[in-house]
């Protein structure tokens, strides 16, 4: 009895210590992002969701010319009504969602492995990775941040259900799965990954399992149909910016290099291909799952014909963290045999600490760079308010040439509207 209580208390202490470390690392990385202003698409989202919101509009597909993401519309509509046009609450909300995803990854890793150390390592490494910083720092990148939370939660909830935790976990998984479908198209990879999780946890995907997964497949098919209708109107398709082709392989390799902050080039790409081949051929079932997690979630973004976009790394980074945590655990196991458990623990702790520090330093630089990116927009909005403290009666805001050119032309009127939260105005050069 006493030993059971002691283990439980030790587990609580470890979890609390991990939460503190993750919080410290996250604040270290994203302090500058929290102090950032809006940027680029943020203004468009705020102005588009400032009008009276009607749920029935979500069913009017003719409204959509570019993606169908009703949960994102709800997010910005609610955010505008709660926060107005203040940037810091939106940044704080993104940080909270990021921390929630870290916690969800811990729960998934612990449920799959039964090992607190493995789960702690994976979540800490995930928190510190620099490749996806834009997803947390940029308000509009909630389109990548929020679906990742639904994604990881769904995997954890479904895993707990098939482990016998009860039907309530399946019901919750259906809710988060549906939320993921309605948040981003990347959710198309979630069902295949759930099947792989089932295979790893149970060793077989039988008819009973398919009966539970079939309703999710039906929902996925329906949403994919809607997405096809909407996306077929998008300039991304009509202008050839998103298409099938061999360029996807190069993009996936470049994304993987960004995950571990390496150097692009043929040697790196060959090393990645060799490593992936070995891990799939010789790795354990969980290792294969983590490799599949990375590759599957990179696939949708890889078909863009332009350069890679860092925020698309957020969900793949979770799988990479699990794989990296497995590697550090393997190092410890080997050292336990060669040099003893104490040496194994010390070396593993040093290895994880070293990786965390390395990643966090790079991530902090990315966060600072993002804050710099928002400065011209903040100056532009300040110039708008200085030129006219209230919305001008003729709807024209007259700015100096140097102020007008602080931001791209496409964003000027939206940014000026946000300066008055939100009034329709037009910026002209005086």
pLDDT in tens, 195-229: 999 999 988 777 777 888 999 999 999 888 888 88
Report how far Cα 198 is from the mean position of its chain's Cα atoms. 23
Distance CA 110, CA 108 (A): 5
Note whether 362 and 131 are within 8 A (CB): no
| DSSP letter assigned to residue 242 | B
* pLDDT surpasses 80 at 93: yes
Q: How many residues does the chain have?
A: 430
Q: Any idea which of 82-91, 151-160, 219-228, 403-412 has the lowest mean pLDDT?
A: 219-228
Percent of the chain with pLDDT over 70: 93
Q: Which helix (H) or strand (E) holds 41?
A: helix 41-48
At 72 the three-state DSSP class reads helix
Instruction: Report the pLDDT averaged over residues 8-21.
Output: 70
Instruction: Report the pLDDT averaged over residues 260-278.
Output: 93
Instruction: Report the pLDDT averaged over residues 97-110.
Output: 96
Q: How confident is the model at residue 10 (pLDDT cuts 50, 70, 90)?
A: low
Mean pLDDT of the chain: 89
CA-closest candidate to residue 315, choices 113, 91, 135, 169: 135
Q: Give the residue carrying structure tokens 């927009």.
A: 377
The more confidently predicted of residues 132 and 57 is 132
| Residue 298 CA neighbour count, 13 Å, CB half | 29
Tell me the per-residue pLDDT of 337-349, one tens digit each, with 9 for 90 and over. 888 888 888 888 8
Residues 6+ apart with CB under 8 A from 103: 123
What pLDDT, on the 0 to 100 scale, is given for residue 2? 54
Percent of the chain with pLDDT over 90: 64
Give the highest mean pLDDT range of 53-62, 139-148, 387-396.
139-148
CA-closest candidate to residue 73, choices 87, 86, 60: 60
């Amino acid at each position: 009895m006493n030993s059971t209580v002691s283990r439980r208390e030790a587990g609580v202490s470890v979890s609390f210590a991990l939460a503190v470390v993750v919080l410290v690392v996250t604040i270290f990385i994203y302090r500058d992002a929290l102090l950032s202003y809006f940027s680029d698409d943020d203004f468009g989202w705020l102005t588009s969701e400032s009008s009276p919101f009607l749920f029935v509009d979500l069913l009017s597909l003719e409204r959509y010319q570019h993606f169908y993401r009703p949960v994102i519309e709800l997010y910005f509509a609610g955010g505008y009504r709660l926060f107005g046009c203040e940037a810091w609450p939106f940044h704080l909300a993104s940080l909270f969602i990021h921390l929630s995803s870290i916690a969800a990854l811990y729960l998934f890793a612990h449920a799959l492995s039964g090992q607190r150390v493995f789960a702690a390592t994976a979540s800490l490494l995930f928190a510190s990775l620099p490749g996806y910083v834009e997803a947390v720092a940029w308000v509009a990148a909630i389109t990548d941040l929020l679906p990742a939370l639904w994604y990881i939660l769904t995997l954890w909830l479904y895993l707990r259900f098939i482990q016998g935790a009860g039907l309530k976990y399946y019901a919750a998984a259906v809710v988060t799965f549906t939320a993921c479908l309605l948040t981003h198209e990347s959710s198309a990879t979630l069902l295949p990954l759930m099947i792989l999780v089932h295979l790893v946890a149970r060793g077989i995907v039988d008819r009973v399992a398919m009966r539970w997964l079939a309703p999710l497949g039906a929902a996925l098919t329906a949403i994919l149909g809607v997405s096809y209708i909407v996306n077929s109107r998008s300039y991304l398709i009509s202008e050839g910016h998103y298409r099938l082709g061999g360029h996807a392989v190069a993009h996936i390799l470049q994304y993987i290099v960004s995950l571990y902050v390496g150097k692009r080039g043929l040697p790196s790409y060959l090393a990645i291909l060799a490593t992936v081949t070995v891990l799939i051929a010789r790795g354990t079932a969980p290792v294969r799952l983590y490799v599949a997690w990375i590759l599957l979630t990179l696939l949708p973004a890889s078909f863009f014909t332009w350069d890679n976009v860092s925020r698309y790394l957020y969900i793949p980074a979770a799988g990479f963290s699990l794989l990296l945590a497995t590697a550090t655990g393997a190092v410890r196991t080997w050292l336990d045999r060669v040099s003893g458990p104490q040496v194994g623990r010390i070396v593993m702790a040093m290895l994880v600490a070293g990786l965390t520090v390395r990643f966090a330093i790079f991530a902090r630089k990315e966060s600072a760079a993002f804050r710099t990116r928002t400065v011209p927009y903040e100056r532009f909005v300040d110039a708008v308010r200085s030129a006219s403290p209230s919305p001008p009666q003729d709807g024209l805001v007259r700015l100096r040439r140097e102020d007008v050119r602080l931001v791209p032309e496409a964003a000027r009127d939206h940014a000026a509207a946000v300066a008055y939260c939100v009034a329709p105005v037009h910026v002209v050069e005086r």
